[in-house]
Structures are given as structure tokens and as C-alpha cells.
Structure 1
Amino acid sequence: MFYGITAATASFLLAALLAALLRACALRLALVDRRRSRPVPLLGGVAVVLATGLVAGACQWRGVVPLGTGVVRLLVAGGAVGVLGLAADLWRLRRRWVLAGTVAAAACAVPYDGTGPLAGAAAVIWIALVATAFRGLDHADGLAGTVGAVTAFGVGVCAAAELMDGLAVLLSVLAAALTGVLLHNWHPARIALGASGSLFAGFLLAGAAVFTRAGQPPGTGAGVLFALTALVSADAVLVLLSRRLAGRPPLRGGPDHLAHRLRRLGLTPQGVVVLLGAGACGGVLVGVLVHIGRVGETAVLWVAGVSAVAVPGLLRVRVYEPRRTGPNTAARGPRRVPASRPGTGAHLTPRRADFPVRQATGLEGVQVSGPLRVRNR
């Protein structure tokens, strides 16, 4: 236990230091999140990947806490996903290619000897989906780091209960690295995880959860896995349903996540993170208690019930701008009319292409509908 605490402390300090150094590099390279109202550097995830990999690798190399072959394979696959996420941040890769690469990495990390071929294939898809959904949490300051640290702690407890010391140490190192970056990612964020850190964290968490539940009955295992990632799953389902009902592409970004809707209801950015972090903690707590046998398997149904109530309720919160309708609606918004040139005597009247205007004619009781035309007088 002493070595685990030492490794976690080292990971926390290293991640905090690397995040501060990489922030300046990201600003110099203009690698920022342009979807925010202010530019936020995106290299915080690189600090998480480096801190987790270096500290866990040092534990394996020195033989202090041997990770084991399966855990090392999971860490290497997670590192590859982190590199893929960095490429997505640099070159704006399409989400479908990122998802395909995540599926390939998950196929190399799943312990098929414990899950079997069919359950292993399902675990591959589940790991890729959780990692992709976890990436969606990085739009809010501090949210991905908070949910990731809480989930890593819970899955680490499950791993310790199964006497998987190497996996438990890896998860404690990951939780500490996320907390170290969270010092810079709390609102107002000075750095963000980006696709690199969010995909890496989600991949490791989902893969570690599969390791802890390998060999368990499929029904119980699926329930515990859902409880451990209930908040991430609820956010993904909410987004997919919202975009489906609005006729929007499912992989196109938008202000339709849990945090966006809670902000619409009046919560502050810090309040949103605290509330969602508490929700993630509740789901993780139920999953841990079911895993160690302190509560019955039906406790997972409570988590599912809360999600089933919260998702339709938040789905009613309006997040999309109403579409413009009408025959004269401009596809690119209202046109700009250039100012009149001096000396020409031309007086230009702005055209209102978006709003039909009725012009009075010389005939009594007769009106003509249509946009105003510009004439030289």
C-alpha cells in the first residue's frame, strides 16, 4: 500500500508540472479549443498520458508493483489511443476514424481467456463506446477530470477486491494524474484534456472494469459495468436521442450534453461539475457495493431508474436554436450592404431579405409583397 501511495503522489505532482509546461507549448502552437468562448490549450491530456505511463512503467521496471502482462497490454493500448486522440486534436480527424482506431486498440487489450469470445467481442464495442462518450465530457471545465478520478477510484477498489494489485496501482496513478491536471482544468480552465486525455482515461477505465468483471456471470457483469459508467452512459444516450429527434447527425458536436442543459437551467459551471460529479459518485458506489457483495444485484436497477427519469427530463430542455423558415430566408444569414460611395449620389437602402416587406403603391387598397430594391436617385 505504501508503494501505491508513493506512485499516486508522484503521478499527481508530475501531471501538475507537465500541464503547466505543456500549456505554454500549446499556446505557442495555437493548439487550442476553438469551440469555447475563450481559447483553452488542449495538451492537458498529454500530461495525463505521460504521467500515468511513466509512473506505472517505473513500477513495472523496478519490480516494486508488477503490473502483469494483461495490464501492461491495456496500458500500451491506452497509450496508442491517447496518441490517436492527439492526432485528432492536431489534424481534426473524423470521429469515425477515431472510433475505428479505438475499437482496434480495445480488441488487443480485452482478456479473452476470462471473458470468452462472444463476451469479449461485446467488451470491445463497449470499451470503444465508453471511451468515445468520455471524450464528450471534456466540453465543460473540470468535468472529465472529476468524473474520471471518481470512476478510477471506484474501479480501483473493485480491482483491489479481486487482488489485482497491479491494476489497482495503475488506476490510482491514473486518478492522481487526472487530479493533478484538474488543478489547471477547474473553471476557468487554463488547459483542457482534449481528445488525447479524455480518450485515454475513458479507455483505461472501461478496460480496467472489464478486467475486474472477467469470469463473472454476463448479466451481473453488465449491470456492474453500467453502474460504474452510468453518468457517461446517460450523457451519451441523451445526446444521441436529442440529435435523433432534432434531425442532426449523431457525430456532429453541439451544445446538447448534460452540462449544457444544466447550465440552461441556471447552474454555475462549478455547480454543474459538483452535481455531475456527485451523480457519478453515486453510480460508482452502487457498482462497487454490488461487486464486493455488500448489496444485491437489484441495486443496479435504482441507477438505471434514475437515469431513465433524468434523461427524458433533461431532453425537454431547449438547447438548439430554432431553424429559420420562410421563402426569403437567406441560407447564409442577412446580407451586408456596402456603404454609399462618396461622390456618386447613390443612396443605398439595406435590403431585408429575411423579412418580407410590403411596399405601398399608388393604387388605393393594393399592396405588393416583396423585398425592397435599391435604386439610384
Structure 2
Amino acid sequence: MSLVHYVLIAGAFFIAAAFVFFVTPAVRIFAFKIGAVDIPRDERRMHSVPIARLGGLGVFAGFIVSIGFYLASSHYLNLSLKLVGILAGASIIIILGIIDDITPLKAGIKFVIQIIAAAIPVFCGMRIDIFENLRNFAPNVYIPIGWLSIIFTIFWIVGITNAVNFIDGLDGLAAGISGISTVSMVIIMLFTRNVEMALLAAALSGACIGFIPFNFNPAKIFMGDTGATFLGFMLACVSIQGLFGSYLIVSFAVPFLLLALPIFDTTYAIIRRIRAGQSPMAADRNHIHHRLIDFGLTQKQVVLILYMFTLCLCICAIAITFMGIGRAMWFVIILFVLMLIAIIIAGNLRKLMAKKERKNKGCTK
């Protein structure tokens, strides 16, 4: 990789970040004018006053402006059939999100349209041919999966699209997690010399970072389904084009670690709802961020904790890419042990603080 590549990727980041930062106030005014406003009506809402939605429209605009600049002025990013498919699918997701942010749609309708949007890049050639990669991991084994790759790829795209949307429950949470994940993708793609996907990931991360000043607690605007589903869709597509490859275990572990928090939260939510006899798409107040709030933490504390957790997982993914699965496993194990110790210490400190608080209350009586 030459210095030119690093400058190009930094440029993609800063163009997107700057555009989103300056256009978001206008998007906020527009959202209030058309009635795209989140009014707190139930216990799931963590805010007490009406807040504009549609912030994702600014995120999308910043991303498009950034990659549009490089499509027009650089040979490092070409309008290939796969990229056309990704952008076409993302546009459908954005339109769906805008409609849903103004007039909420039924979950079934959204799900069907998401499948259609995911199918577009798939039929433009973007696939996860997982079992084909086993020939690299074990040269004498080759298991073609044929048309099953279509189903698996659509499942991955729709799954990540909804996973990011599900975790968008606190100010700045989805934007920050997506920003951390995409910056990590940029690092990995630079290592693997995938300049085209690194530019897309850099533009996406810049758009997230440019939006956070308006979305961090106390939020002035929400990204809404418009932004959360767009980020999820793009994270899924960029991970397929830029990360799935190499050995099977490594190729799956890297994108999974980068997106582990929304994947885990969504998987647990679906299982929880099915066991309760509810629709998997039904809303509730049992996501990981809600549970941490119920422990007595503030919104900012919860968001920062989940940022750190995501960062640790991303460091593990980067370590696997640079060091290989064998050497990196020790690093991953040590990191997770340290995280577990930190959680235990934090839990014990909380118990001590609660005990001290009860003791102080007893003394004042």
C-alpha cells in the first residue's frame, strides 16, 4: 500500500464526516416539518421530549457524496455491477426507512422489502460461498453449495440489517458501534489490499462519526430506521465483499467478531420472544442496553461500556487477521479473561456501593 492509498481513504472518511456534520441540522428541521418525530409514549423510550428522526438521511447523503466524489475523480473506485447492486439495495432500504420513520409499517412488510433489497446485490454477483473456501483450509476437501450461497448471503444481509436496528436503543449507540466496526474493517482491508472496499468502509465510518455529535446523549436527532437499517445493510455488504475470504474459520470469525454485539443482542432477543410466544419482531425492553440501564447506569455510561466492548471484539478480529488464527487465539483468550475480570470487579464495586448506600440510609433514620 502506498501513501496515496492512505490519503484517499482518509479523504473518504473526512468528506463523509464533514458533509454529515453540516447537513444534519437541516435534516433535523426537515424532520420536524414533515412530522418524522419520535414521541415518547412507552417505557422503551429513553427520552422525555419529542426528538426528530430521519437522521439516517444525513448519514446516507454523506456516504453517497463521499463515494460519488471518488467514482467521479479516481480509478480506485469503479462502478462495478456489484457496487451498483449494493447501492441499489441500500437505496431501497433508505426509502423504506424514511416511510417507516414517518408512518410506521408492519414488521412483515418491512421484512419482505428487506429481503428484496438484499437479493439485488446477491444477484449482481455478491455471494458468500463459504464451503468453497474449505479448499484453502483443507486442500483435499471441496464442498460446493451452489444456490445455497444465495440463501446464506441474503440471510446474512437481512440479519445484520435488523441487528443494527435492534441495538439502536440509546443515544449514539448504533452510530458509535457501526463507526468502530467500520474503522476496524478499514484497517483489515488495508492489510489485505482491498482498496475499493476500504474506501466504502472509510466513507461509512466517516458518516457515523460526523453524526455522533448530534446523536450522543442528550440527542438532538435520532437516525431512526432510515439510518440504523442503512448502516446494518452496508455493514453486511462491505463485510461480504471485503472480509469473507481466506480460510473458512478466519473469514467467518473476523466479520462475526466485528459485528458480535448486535448479532448476540438480536439472537438473544429473537429466542426470548419466541419462548414467550411473541413475534420475533415484537418490541420489548429487554435488550442488553436496557438491562444495563436497569442496573442503575446512565445512558452515557452504558453507551461507553458497549463502545469499549465492541472495540475489544474488533481488536480481536484485527489480531486474527494480522497474526493468524493460531497465534491470535491466545491474544483473544487473554483479552476476554481481562474483560471478564473487569466485569466481575465492576459488579463487586456496584454491590459495595449499594451496601454503603443502604448503610448510610440506615444511619440517617
TM-score class, shorter-chain normalisation, is 0.7 to 0.9
2:41 pairs with 1:5: no
For residue 127 of structure 1, the aligned residue among 154, 157, 170 is: 157
The alpha-carbon deviation at position 283 of structure 1 amounts to 1.4
Q: Larger relative CO (CA 8 A, sep 6+): 1 or 2?
A: 2
Equivalent AA in structure 2 for residue 160 of structure 1: L
Say if 1:67 and 1:165, in contact at 8 Å, map to a contact too: no
Provide the secondary structure at the position in 2 that maps to 1:216: coil
In structure 2, C-alpha distance between the alignment counterparts of 1:107 and 1:250, rounded to whole Å? 22
Greater percentage in helix:
2
Distance 1:107 1:291, change over 3 A: farther
Distance 1:265 1:295, change over 3 A: same
Match of 1:90 in 2: 102
Q: CA offsets per residue over residues 89-129 of structure 1, 9 Å max, x none?
A: 12211222222222222222244567264334212101111
In structure 2, C-alpha distance between the alignment counterparts of 1:302 and 1:105, rounded to whole Å? 38
Match of 1:17 in 2: 22
Provide the secondary structure at the position in 2 that maps to 1:252: coil
Q: Which runs of 4+ in 1 moved over 3 A?
A: 110-114, 213-220, 244-248, 292-295, 297-303
Say if 2:66 and 2:203, in contact at 8 Å, map to a contact too: yes
Equivalent AA in structure 2 for residue 38 of structure 1: V
Say if 1:155 and 1:205, in contact at 8 Å, map to a contact too: no
Would you say how many aligned residue pairs link Structure 1 and Structure 2? 309
Any gaps of 5 or more consecutive residues in structure 2?
1-5, 130-145, 345-365
- 1:26-65 paired onto structure 2 within 5 Å: 26-35=31-40, 36=45, 37-63=48-74, 65=76
Equivalent AA in structure 2 for residue 27 of structure 1: F
Say if 2:126 and 2:240, in contact at 8 Å, map to a contact too: no
**Which stretch of structure 1 is more off in the superposition, 66-75 or 199-208?**
66-75
Match of 2:133 in 1: none
**Which stretch of structure 1 is more off in the superposition, 260-269 or 221-230?**
221-230
In structure 1, C-alpha distance between the alignment counterparts of 2:62 and 2:220, rounded to whole Å? 19
Say if 1:15 and 1:51, in contact at 8 Å, map to a contact too: yes
Say if 2:180 and 2:311, in contact at 8 Å, map to a contact too: yes
In structure 1, C-alpha distance between the alignment counterparts of 2:212 and 2:14, rounded to whole Å? 14
Any gaps of 5 or more consecutive residues in structure 1?
314-377
- 1:1-377 paired onto structure 2 within 5 Å: 1-35=6-40, 36=45, 37-63=48-74, 65-69=76-80, 70-110=82-122, 111-112=125-126, 115=129, 117-296=147-326, 298=329
The alpha-carbon deviation at position 298 of structure 1 amounts to 4.7
Q: CA offsets per residue over residues 313-339 of structure 1, 9 Å max, x none?
A: 9xxxxxxxxxxxxxxxxxxxxxxxxxx
Q: Which has the larger radius of gyration?
A: 1
Provide the secondary structure at the position in 2 that maps to 1:139: coil
In structure 2, C-alpha distance between the alignment counterparts of 1:6 and 1:301, rounded to whole Å? 32
Distance 1:218 1:119, change over 3 A: farther
**Which stretch of structure 1 is more off in the superposition, 65-74 or 109-118?**
109-118
The alpha-carbon deviation at position 173 of structure 1 amounts to 1.0
Match of 2:140 in 1: none
Distance 1:87 1:218, change over 3 A: farther
Identity %: 23
Equivalent AA in structure 2 for residue 157 of structure 1: I
Provide the secondary structure at the position in 2 that maps to 1:133: helix
Provide the secondary structure at the position in 2 that maps to 1:138: coil
In structure 2, C-alpha distance between the alignment counterparts of 1:100 and 1:146, rounded to whole Å? 28
Match of 1:322 in 2: none
Equivalent AA in structure 1 for residue 61 of structure 2: L
In structure 1, C-alpha distance between the alignment counterparts of 2:28 and 2:282, rounded to whole Å? 27
Provide the secondary structure at the position in 1 that maps to 2:167: helix
Distance 1:96 1:8, change over 3 A: same
The alpha-carbon deviation at position 294 of structure 1 amounts to 4.2
Provide the secondary structure at the position in 1 that maps to 2:202: helix
Distance 1:98 1:279, change over 3 A: same
In structure 1, C-alpha distance between the alignment counterparts of 2:148 and 2:329, rounded to whole Å? 25
Say if 1:262 and 1:272, in contact at 8 Å, map to a contact too: yes
The alpha-carbon deviation at position 16 of structure 1 amounts to 1.1
In structure 2, C-alpha distance between the alignment counterparts of 1:7 and 1:212, rounded to whole Å? 16
Provide the secondary structure at the position in 1 that maps to 2:168: helix
Say if 1:19 and 1:43, in contact at 8 Å, map to a contact too: no
Equivalent AA in structure 1 for residue 102 of structure 2: L
In structure 2, C-alpha distance between the alignment counterparts of 1:130 and 1:302, rounded to whole Å? 25
Equivalent AA in structure 2 for residue 147 of structure 1: I
